Structure 1
Amino acid sequence: MSPVATIGAAVFAIGAATTLPMPLFTAYAARSGGGAGGLALAFIAYATTLIVTAPLLGGLSDRVGRKPCLLAALVFAFLATTALTIAPGLPALALARVLQGLAIGLVAGGATAWAAELAGGPEAGRLAGRVTAFATAGSFAVGGIATLTALWLMGDVEPPVTFWLHLAAIALLLPLVARLPDRRPAAPVAWLRLPAFPRGTVTTSFGMFAAWSVTGVAISSVPAALAAAGHPRLGPLAVCFMILVGTAFQQVVGKLPARRASLIGLPVLVAGAGLVTLGTLDAALLTLLAGGALVGSAAYGFLFVGALAGASEAAAGEDRARAAAGVFLVAHAGFCVPPLLTGLAIDAFGATAALTGFWFGITALCALLAVLLLRPRG
């Protein structure tokens, strides 16, 4: 296996750890006696970990080397799956999500840089970017679908066979990654890299806040509400479809200008969130899938591209990395706060009131963002 392929496979295994257990989230909550709020709290431990550790982990590979970071990330992903294999439930899920957040934080930038360094040649950066982007997005899409398929074929056997396959894959990858050459930077690198928000990027960044709020609710609260209504597999199926469509649509959006991409994505997100809400309350698969397709195309396509393009256009040189970090900081805040509040609201007021209230809130936020984006730039 080539060095670039090895790094891509390692990134895929690390990313897959985050979605492999997704079809079992509601089962873990029921087993531990937690409702939608408890599930949301355990679920958002991933994003919270990334927010807290991002300033340190973002530049760590430039300081200690690429290899130690990727090896540590593989170990964290291994431990996350091991925790859910040994003690499936909400406490293990919270621990696993923390470990997964650390793993993703360690490889967020360093894996692509290492792949480019090992590839060499004029197209090295582009090749490395394509490989690691495909490995990351592909792993998010495949992980949940693989476990869903295993549960469908083999029944509700826990742990599912996908957990054992994941652990075996990481065990095989660790020595392969350990053999790869690594060059430590000669110049000193700062330990902390704080996020930045260049002028004009706040609005598009908050488009990602709205997008990841909807995806966070779709991944945590929607399956919990459907499981409570007697449809435990319907939510994970819709979420996997959402991620698949979003991953594919990201390639279609291409190089749209940042503002235009965000302006298109905001109404698409509102429409998708409305269909997901209706599909959840009616337990209607086709409505859920249609809503998931719209949410995925908006969140992972238009709004994601718009936010990152806006950050890249507004910053230069090393500041681009800090501007991109600012986008992800706001996005992960969206992945944390609204899903937690929605989960708690489901426990307190029921799914209908909580999900409808969430949709009205997202609609108001998207309308405000659209107005701000349409204002002429000063």
Structure 2
Amino acid sequence: MTSTSGVARIGAAVFAIGFSTTLAMPLFTSYAARDGGGAGGLSAAFIAYAATLIVTAPLLGGLSDRVGRRPCVLAGLVLAGLSTVALMVAPGLAALAVARALQGLAIGLVAGGATAWAAELATGPEAGRQAARAMALATAGAFAAGGLCTLMALWLLGDGEPPVTFWLHVGIVALLVPVVARLPDPRPVARVAWLRVPAFPRGTVASSFGMFAAWGVTGVTITSVPSALAAAGHPRLGPLAVCFMILAGTAAQQAIGHLPARRLSLAGLPVLAAGAGLVILGTLGASVPLLLLGGALVGSAAYGFLFVGALAAASEAASGEDRARAAAGVFLVAHAGFCVPPLLTGLAMDAFGTGPALAGFWVGLAVLCAWLAAALLRRPA
């Protein structure tokens, strides 16, 4: 088996796991309406993914070093498949919360181990970089493809549940498990610390909290925006904007090259605020052009400029094993953003209405982005 084949198989497993996280996105508002949970209930079920990652990240971060890469990736595949099965058996907010928790565990299991395994199977001087690029593309591409495939299936085949994409995902996972199980796992297990506590090297707090703002906006766009549009009679516009957001972010990741970390974060903050404003205006007016343009700007800022800038700043400020802890710090803050703003915005929508809740969210975002930009400008280049 060639090294390229091994990397491709690991990439396929990572894609299948990431695919599960947005697979049911076009049905989120249907689950909420069925169970009477409102925007707040949907947000609470949705953030089970990020909450699970935050709680388990210190333990899962070094697990592949202790038990091996292959068991972690296989477990991630199985958990991703079970998350889809849960939504097929009992579609609703409770099953969504269970599925999101399973997906959080799956992503946590492969977050570091899959990239490391691919690098160990790859060959050549650029093996590590090539493996990281392949895994990043598989992850981001899967996030975009999951929701888009289900959205297309619902448009083409009707609103019957479960959509054909759910069956497809379970079948793909079943096929991939034996394929991944046959891959060699060359790195011997090591005696490393069970817990890896995230770290924030000096000078990286502002760029790391840029990810709090970034993933806060994406979380609100995935939950509160579709809820508001569904309530206004446009249940498919929200998922369409989200898919466009992730696709634009994936493209931006590939296009921005090797710009300095601080410049990336400084460019991303105003783009994020502007994009969020357009998404909110598009939501209140049910405007497809504003939703798509705003989604493209949010995706470019969140998944491109701010994400790459935060990880680059953490990598530059740390060394050795501390780089992994610094990257974990970025993801911890990012997933906190994926939890807190969506939940507060969803609850505010139920309590005060869509307009005031989304306007209040944008004002808070603008203040945070301005403060972070000022902090970045004060830091020496």
Bin the TM-score by the shorter chain.
over 0.9
8 Å contact from structure 1 (residues 276, 292) kept in 2? yes
Distance 2:123 2:257 in 1: 25
- Give the structure 1 partner of residue 233 of structure 2: 230
Matched, 1:126 2:129: yes
Distance 1:189 1:19 in 2: 33
Distance 1:50 1:281 in 2: 32
Q: Which region of structure 1 is more displaced relative to structure 2, 122-131 or 343-352?
A: 122-131
Residue in structure 2 matching 1:138, options 136, 141, 144: 141
Amino acid at match of 2:253: Q
CA deviations on 1:29-78 (whole Å, 9 max, x unpaired) are 01111100000000000000000000000110011000110110011001
Matched, 1:22 2:22: no
Distance 1:76 1:187 in 2: 25
Residue in structure 2 matching 1:3, options 6, 11, 17: 6
CA RMSD of aligned residues (A): 1.1
8 Å contact from structure 1 (residues 64, 184) kept in 2? no
**Count of aligned pairs between the two proteins:** 378
Matched, 1:347 2:350: yes
Q: Which region of structure 1 is more displaced relative to structure 2, 94-103 or 244-253?
A: 244-253
Matched, 1:38 2:29: no
Give ranges in structure 1 of 5+ residues lacking alignment.
Answer: none
Distance 1:19 1:109 in 2: 20
Residue in structure 2 matching 1:324, options 323, 327, 333: 327
- Give the structure 1 partner of residue 154 of structure 2: 151
Moved over 6 A (4+): none
Matched, 1:209 2:206: no
8 Å contact from structure 2 (residues 65, 189) kept in 1? no
- Give the structure 2 partner of residue 199 of structure 1: 202
CA deviations on 1:297-318 (whole Å, 9 max, x unpaired) are 1101111111111101110111
8 Å contact from structure 1 (residues 21, 147) kept in 2? yes
- Give the structure 1 partner of residue 310 of structure 2: 307
8 Å contact from structure 1 (residues 63, 184) kept in 2? no
- Give the structure 2 partner of residue 289 of structure 1: 292
Distance 1:34 1:237 in 2: 22
Provide the secondary structure at the position in 2 that maps to 1:279: helix
Distance 2:31 2:345 in 1: 19
Distance 1:111 1:334 in 2: 24
Provide the secondary structure at the position in 2 that maps to 1:159: coil
Provide the secondary structure at the position in 2 that maps to 1:220: helix
Q: Judging changes above 3 Å, is the alpha-carbon distance between structure 1 residues 178 and 365 closer, same or farther for their aligned structure 2 residues?
A: same
8 Å contact from structure 2 (residues 203, 379) kept in 1? no
- Give the structure 2 partner of residue 359 of structure 1: 362
Amino acid at match of 2:323: R
Distance 2:316 2:116 in 1: 21
What percent identity do the matched residue pairs reach? Answer: 78
Distance 1:252 1:301 in 2: 9
Matched, 1:176 2:176: no
- Give the structure 2 partner of residue 377 of structure 1: 380
TM-score of the two chains, using structure 2 as the length reference: 0.98
Give ranges in structure 2 of 5+ residues lacking alignment.
Answer: none
Amino acid at match of 1:18: T
Q: Report the Cα offset of residue 128 of structure 1.
A: 1.4
Provide the secondary structure at the position in 1 that maps to 2:198: coil
Q: Which region of structure 1 is more displaced relative to structure 2, 41-50 or 110-119?
A: 110-119
Distance 1:351 1:284 in 2: 16
Q: Report the Cα offset of residue 222 of structure 1.
A: 0.4
Distance 2:327 2:111 in 1: 11
Amino acid at match of 2:247: L
Q: Which region of structure 1 is more displaced relative to structure 2, 235-244 or 173-182?
A: 173-182
Distance 1:186 1:366 in 2: 43
TM-score of the two chains, using structure 1 as the length reference: 0.98
Provide the secondary structure at the position in 1 that maps to 2:235: coil
Distance 2:124 2:262 in 1: 34
- Give the structure 1 partner of residue 83 of structure 2: 80
- Give the structure 2 partner of residue 190 of structure 1: 193
Q: Report the Cα offset of residue 5 of structure 1.
A: 1.1
Residue in structure 1 matching 2:267, options 240, 264, 268: 264
- Give the structure 1 partner of residue 100 of structure 2: 97
Distance 2:377 2:181 in 1: 51
Distance 2:341 2:112 in 1: 27
Q: Judging changes above 3 Å, is the alpha-carbon distance between structure 1 residues 121 and 274 closer, same or farther for their aligned structure 2 residues?
A: same
Q: Report the Cα offset of residue 189 of structure 1.
A: 1.1
Distance 1:367 1:4 in 2: 41
Q: Report the Cα offset of residue 186 of structure 1.
A: 5.2
8 Å contact from structure 1 (residues 146, 162) kept in 2? yes
Distance 1:162 1:302 in 2: 31
Q: Report the Cα offset of residue 171 of structure 1.
A: 0.4
Distance 1:139 1:91 in 2: 24
Amino acid at match of 2:222: I
Distance 1:66 1:272 in 2: 39
8 Å contact from structure 1 (residues 265, 302) kept in 2? yes
Q: Report the Cα offset of residue 124 of structure 1.
A: 1.9
